[in-house]
Amino acid sequence: MMQARKTKCATVVFLAGLVAGATVVRAQAAGQPQAPAMEDPSGKVVKSQPADEKPDPTKRRLSDREQVQQQKYLRSELKGDSPWKKWLDQDVVWIISDQEVQAFKSLKNDEEREQFVENFWLRRNPNPESPDNEFREQHYARIAFANEHYAAGKPGWRTDRGHIYIAYGKPDSIDSHPSGGNYERPIEEGGGSTSTFPFEVWHYRYLEGVGDNIDLEFVDSCQCGDYHYTIDRSEKDALKHTPGAGQTLYEQMGQSSKKDRFSSGGIEQLGNGPMAASQQSKQFDRISLASKIFAPPVIKFKDLEQYIGSAQILKGPPFQFDVRTDFVKVTNDTVLMPVTLQIRNKDVTFTTKDSVSTGTVNILGQVSNINHRIVQTFEDTVTVQVPSEFLAREQANRNLYWKSLPLRSGMYKVDIVIKDVNNPDHIGTWRRSVNVPKYDDERLSASSLILASTMVRVPTKEIGAGNFVIGNTKVVPSVSAGPTVPVSFKRNQNLNFWMQVYNLGIDEKSRQNNAQIEYEVMDLATNKAVLESSESTTKVNPNADQVTLEKSMPLASLQPGKYQVLIKVNDGVAGQQISQSAPFTVE
C-alpha cells in the first residue's frame, strides 16, 4: 500500500454538505482603516462605518415584525426533516454546548448557519494547519462504530454507550459481563454473592474536564442489548428484590436486612456494609460525575475566524488511474463516501538514489454540490519506494490510495487530479457525478457491496480509524479498470465481500430482528449458482436494526470466467426485501 504524507491544503466544513469542506476567505482589504468604537444608546460597544462606506442593510436592526418572521422561519427550519435540525439533533447532539445551541438558534439565515457549522468544526481542529480536520473525521468514525456495535432497537448513537463513545472515544479498558450471572460483590458494594443482569464497566484513565480514573457502569436490565448508564451500582443486581437471595455480607451475618437497602434514602441501594458510610459520603461525587460525563466535552482548541487556502487543478498529458466510490451510512442524513484510487506502478516515474527507486504522486480531490460550491477537498502526496533491483518486477503491481469523506445525501460532482512529481507534465484527471443515497428510517436499505482483496479485523486501538478501516474491519476494495469492467481476482486469492444492512425491523415483543440473508455466487456463462448459503440476522446481531455482513471464500475451485455475487435480505418483521449484486472475474 502507498504511504501518504499530508501536504498543506484547506478543508473547512459547512452544512451544504452537512459535514464537508469549503474554502472560506474573510480578509479585510489591505490598508483599509479600522472604524473607531462607539457606544449605542443601550451602552453596547459597536464599530462605526467608515465615512466612505455605505452601511450594510443586512446588518441593520430588525423591526419587531421582522424578528417575529425570522423566528417563524427558524422554527420551520428546526423541525421535520430539515438538514439543520438533523445536524443539531443527530450529528453533533453529544458534543455541542448549550451556548453553541443558543447561538445557532439565533442565526438569521442559511449563510450564517453554514458559517457557524464551519467554525464549529474548526474550533475543535487539533491541528489548524492540517488540510484535514482530524476531530471531525474521528467524530463521524465514532458514530459509525456506535451504530454498528451499540444498536439496541434504536440506532447506536442514541444509546448511552454510543453517547459516551462518540463524546470521549474508546475506554482504556472494559470489564464486560455480557451474560450477567454469578457475581462476587467487592467489599465497597457490600460483599457477598448475587446474580446480575448483563453489565459493563468502562474505565478511562483521564478525561479532560472530568477527571482521573473514571469508571462508568452500564446495565442491560431489560436483557435486550440496551445498556443504560447508572450511578446506582446495585441496579445490576438481578436478585435485589428477591427475598433471602443475593445477600450482602452484613445480611448474611444478620447485621442488616434487605429492607434496609430501600430505606436509606441514598442514590444507591447497596445496603449496609463495612464501607456503607464512606460510600454514602461519595454519592454526590457520583452525581457530579454523571453531570460532567453527559455534558458536551471541553473544546480544546481556539476558534479560528479565518481559514485561507487554495487548490489549483493541473492539466497535462493523461496519467491513467482508476477510482471507486462506496457509500456507508453514519446517521440518517450523513453518509461516508470512501474514495479508492488505484495507480499502476508502470505509469509512475521513478528516480533512483542509493539503490532505492522512489515514485511520488500528488493527489488533489474536490467535491462540489449541484450549486457548484465546494463542500470537500483533500490533498495528499503519496510515495512508492522499492529497491532498485526489484523495480522492473514492481512495474506490474498496483497501489491504492483511500480517503473517506462524510457527506449529506444528494448529488455531487467529484474531481480528482493526480500529478507525477518526477515528470511534472504527466497529469491525470477524473470527474464523475455521484448520487449519495438517503437512508430513510422506515425503509430497509444497505451500504455498497464491496468486493475486497483484503478483509481483516483490526487491533482494538485501530477500530474506527485508519486507511481502509470501516468499523472494526480493514476492507481493501478491489478496483476495476473502468466503470463497465468487473473487478478481477486470481484463483489463489479469496473472494471477500462486505456489506451493511440498515433499518431492520425490531419485533415489539421480543425486541429482536428477524431477517433472512441469502448469499449466491453465479457463473454468468451458465447462469447457474456455484455457491448458495443463508443465515438469520438473529444469529449475527439479534437486537440491532443494523448488521454487518462479512464473508470470505476461496476461489481455487472456480474455473476462470465471469461471475456475480448476489446478496438478498428478506426482513420478516418489516416485510421488506432488498438485494445487492456485484460482478467479478476469476483469472
Per-residue pLDDT reduced to its tens digit, 487-529: 999 999 999 999 999 999 999 888 999 999 999 999 999 999 9
Q: Tell me how far CA of residue 240 lies from CA of 185, 229, 261, in angstroms.
A: 13, 18, 9
Lowest mean pLDDT among 9-23, 98-112, 346-360: 9-23
- Predicted confidence band at 58 (pLDDT cuts at 50, 70, 90)? very low
**Residue-wise pLDDT tens digits, 197-226:** 999 999 998 887 788 889 999 999 998 999
Q: How far apart are the first and last CA of the chain?
A: 22
With contact defined as beta carbons under 8 Å apart, do 57 and 108 qualify?
no
Q: State residue 79's pLDDT score.
A: 58
Residue 453's DSSP bridge partners are none
User: Which amino acid type is present at position 199?
Assistant: F
**Portion of the chain with pLDDT greater than 90, in percent:** 37
Give the contacts of 520 (CB within 8 A, at least 6 positions apart). 529, 531, 532, 565, 566, 567, 568
Q: Cβ of 390: how many Cβ atoms within 10 Å?
A: 10
**What's the CA angle centered on 168, arms 162 and 170, to 5 degrees?**
75
- Predicted confidence band at 569 (pLDDT cuts at 50, 70, 90)? very high
Q: Is the pLDDT of residue 334 over 90?
A: no
Q: State residue 437's pLDDT score.
A: 92
With contact defined as beta carbons under 8 Å apart, do 489 and 584 qualify?
yes
- Predicted confidence band at 265 (pLDDT cuts at 50, 70, 90)? low
CATH 3.30.70.870 is right for the domain spanning 441-587? no
Q: State residue 86's pLDDT score.
A: 86
**Residue-wise pLDDT tens digits, 381-415:** 889 898 999 988 888 888 999 998 888 888 998 88
With contact defined as beta carbons under 8 Å apart, do 379 and 313 qualify?
no
Q: Is the pLDDT of residue 187 over 70?
A: yes
Give the contacts of 63 (CB within 8 A, at least 6 positions apart). none
Bigger pLDDT: 294 vs 165: 165
User: Phi, psi (5° rounding) for residue 56?
Assistant: -80, 115
Q: State residue 541's pLDDT score.
A: 87
Q: What is the mean pLDDT of residues 72-80?
A: 56
Q: Is the pLDDT of residue 91 over 80?
A: yes
- Cell 464497566 belongs to 201
With contact defined as beta carbons under 8 Å apart, do 407 and 367 qualify?
yes
- Predicted confidence band at 68 (pLDDT cuts at 50, 70, 90)? low
Give the contacts of 474 (CB within 8 A, at least 6 positions apart). 454, 455, 456, 457, 458, 466, 468
Helix (H, G, I), strand (E, B) or coil at 129: coil
**Residue-wise pLDDT tens digits, 317-328:** 688 899 999 999
Alpha helix ranges (H) inside 282-389 = 283-293
- Predicted confidence band at 65 (pLDDT cuts at 50, 70, 90)? low
Q: Is the pLDDT of residue 37 over 70?
A: no
Q: Is the pLDDT of residue 243 over 80?
A: yes
- Predicted confidence band at 24 (pLDDT cuts at 50, 70, 90)? very low
Helix (H, G, I), strand (E, B) or coil at 338: strand
CATH 2.60.40.2550 occupies which residues in the chain?
441-587
Q: State residue 356's pLDDT score.
A: 92
Q: State residue 72's pLDDT score.
A: 56
Residue 298, CB-side half-sphere exposure with 13 Å CA sphere: 7
Q: Based on the number of CB atoms within 10 Å of its own CB, is 260 exposed (0-12), middle (13-18) or buried (19 or more)?
A: middle
Lowest mean pLDDT among 13-17, 42-46, 237-241, 459-463: 13-17
Q: Is the pLDDT of residue 299 over 70?
A: no
Q: Is the pLDDT of residue 76 over 70?
A: no
**Residue-wise pLDDT tens digits, 99-143:** 788 888 888 788 888 888 888 888 787 776 666 788 888 899 999
Q: What is the mean pLDDT of residues 72-88?
A: 68
Q: Based on the number of CB atoms within 10 Å of its own CB, is 190 exposed (0-12), middle (13-18) or buried (19 or more)?
A: buried
Mind spelling out the 3-state secondary structure of 214-241? EEEEEECCCCCCCCEEECCHHHHECCCC
- Cell 495528499 belongs to 380
Bigger pLDDT: 160 vs 66: 160
d(CA 33, CA 46) in angstroms, rounded, equals: 16
Q: Is the pLDDT of residue 312 over 50?
A: no
pTM value is 0.60
Residue 212's DSSP bridge partners are 206
Summarize the chain as % helix, strand, coil (round to 5): 20, 35, 40
- Indicate the average pLDDT of the chain: 80
Q: Is the pLDDT of residue 11 over 60?
A: no
